[in-house]
Structure formats: structure tokens, C-alpha cells
Amino acid sequence: MSAKQLEQVAQATKTAFVFPGQGSQKVGMLAELAEQFSSVTETFAEASAAVGFDLWQIAQSGEGLNQTEFTQPVLLTASIALWRVWLELGGVAPKYLAGHSLGEYSALVAAGAMSLGDAVKLVNLRGKLMQDAVPEGQGAMAAILGFDDAQVIELCAQASAAGQGNVEAANFNAQGQVVIAGDKAAVEAVMAAAKEQSGKAIALPVSVPSHCSLMKPAADKFAQALEHTAIELPGLPVIQNVNAEIATDVAGLRQALTAQLYQSVQWTKTMQFLLDQGVEYVVECGPGNVLANLAKRLPNINKAFPLDTKSRMEDALNAILVAEGKIA
């Protein structure tokens, strides 16, 4: 289905697609669906040819799967494989698309803004630059639970001012759930302060402190690659991470993708945008169900579905086709 056809079909729907970011990878992802749909392995073969190594082998064996430079192209490819199966089965074209961090690239590919081949090369480079930006062991990320956004920002400011390094709010994921990132000692200081104030703090098993100012050198280098990548305005509206707005020009889209590396992911505002636009159904197009679970917590979201197994794909297809009035 062309981007123009998707746009026309999507206008009347109340469904949004969301694409997950790093952390959703799992060994053996999409293996069950690949047995039934050749488009899954064909999508992985297409992406592997572009990036120069076997993404399906990494996804199935787990070898290198948690290395950022490999994780990112594998996850993007898995998301696009699921998107293609959804369309192949006659799934509803969503009214809006959004992706969490890396997932923004999956959303842009699905919306026709860039090719799969170009996108996997970009995110492979993105992963390398992110990994190189901060020496291993010096950065960290943690989830802070039980505080509002302003409180977490203040905790970060206090820890940074104390001279133990820099720490910032990296992902505003939901009310009462904010991920922080920065220098390891500063992140640990915020975690300790949160626990002292009866909150929760969970260290995340990541090697790169994403979406904070430590990624600015990586962003400067990445901007050059973006300038040499063919990008068009999406055929379906894609909500940007950095401002929870829809890009209106390609230059702005490139700037937002660059800024995304070192600025916060505005996921709470993104989901509020979807609510404000009348979205009632959310489909998570990627391995796992993290974003679907976050969506279920929101008012007016009637259903949220993951797609990463045969049964989940069937449940989502049938429920949304009925909900959207496509079948009785």
C-alpha cells in the first residue's frame, strides 16, 4: 500500500501505532511468525543486505543482540516486519504513528519517510556513535517511580549541582515514571535521594546513557549522516519524540532526529496528543508489550495490543477491525 493510500485509509480510524525502542529486544523474536509469513525473513534479508551483517541470525541466536550498534537495526527491522505482516493481513492503517526513541525510526519507515535500508544503516551508525560517546561504565540510566516530572527534574538538578557529574530526565514515560540518564555517580545520587523520599529507583541494564547531554558529541556527528540520507515527509503523521509534535518539513524532521539523541523523550506528551486527537486503540508494533502496557493506563484508551506473536497479532487484527467497524 502506497503512502498516499495509507493516508486516505487512515483518516477515519481511531487507531495509533507505537514502535518500541531499545530494551524490547529478546532472543528468538518473531520466530513463530516467521514460520507462517515469509515476509518476516524477507524483511530481515532486505535489511541485512543494506547493513552488511545477518540481523536475523543476531535476533535468533542472541549473539551481539545487546550491543547497541546491533540492537538498534535488529529492533527496527523486527518492527517493520510486523508492520508488513499487519498490512498483508488487511490490518487497519493507523491515524497516527509514534516511536519511543529508536522506535521513531521504525515509525518513519512505516510512514514512508525513509527506506528500510537507509534507516538500518542510520541506526547502526547511531548505536556506534552513542556507544563511543561515553566510555563504558561511566554512564548510567535509572527509572524513578513515584514522583511527578518536576520533582524528578529537581532531584537531577540537585545531584548535578553537588558536583558528582551531570544527570538529567531522559524519558518522560508516564505519570509517575521518569527515566534519568547521565554520569554514573550522579545517577546513583538521584536514586538514593528518591529512595530516601519514599520513591522507587531501578537501575536499567544499559551500556549507554541515552537522551542526555552526554550524547551531544554523538548527535553532532550523526547530523552529518542524516544530511546525506534521503528523507521525505511521512505519508502518515509521525509524532516526534522531542516535542510531541508532527513534523511539517524535512529540515525540521532532521533537526528533531538529531536533537532526540541528547534531549528527553516526551512520551507522556505524545500519548496525551493521541488522546486529544480521539485515538481509542493503540497497537505496539515491535517485540514485547512495554508501550501497550503504558497505554492501558490512560483514560479513553479502550484497548492496547502488542503484535509480536501469532495469537497477539490475530487478537489485535480481529478486535480493531470490529472496533473500527470494518467487520461485524
Cell numbers for 248: 511539517
Quick check: is 100 catalytic?
A: no
**Contact status, residue 172 vs residue 149, Cβ threshold 8 Å:** yes
101, 106, 160, 264: the catalytic one is 101
The Cα 253–Cα 21 span in angstroms is 18
SS3 of 261, please?
coil
CB atoms within 10 A of CB 205: 8
> 48, 106, 160, 211: which is the annotated catalytic residue?
211
> Three-state secondary structure along 194-260?
HHHCCCEEEECCCCCCCCCHHHHHHHHHHHHHHHCCCCCCCCCCEECCCCCCECCCHHHHHHHHHHH
d(CA 318, CA 314): 6
Helices then strands, each counted (H, E), the chain: 14, 9
- Active-site residue 79, yes or no? no
Q: How would you class 322 by CB atoms within 10 Å of its CB: exposed for 0-12, middle for 13-18, buried for 19 or more? A: exposed
- The residues that are catalytic are 101, 211
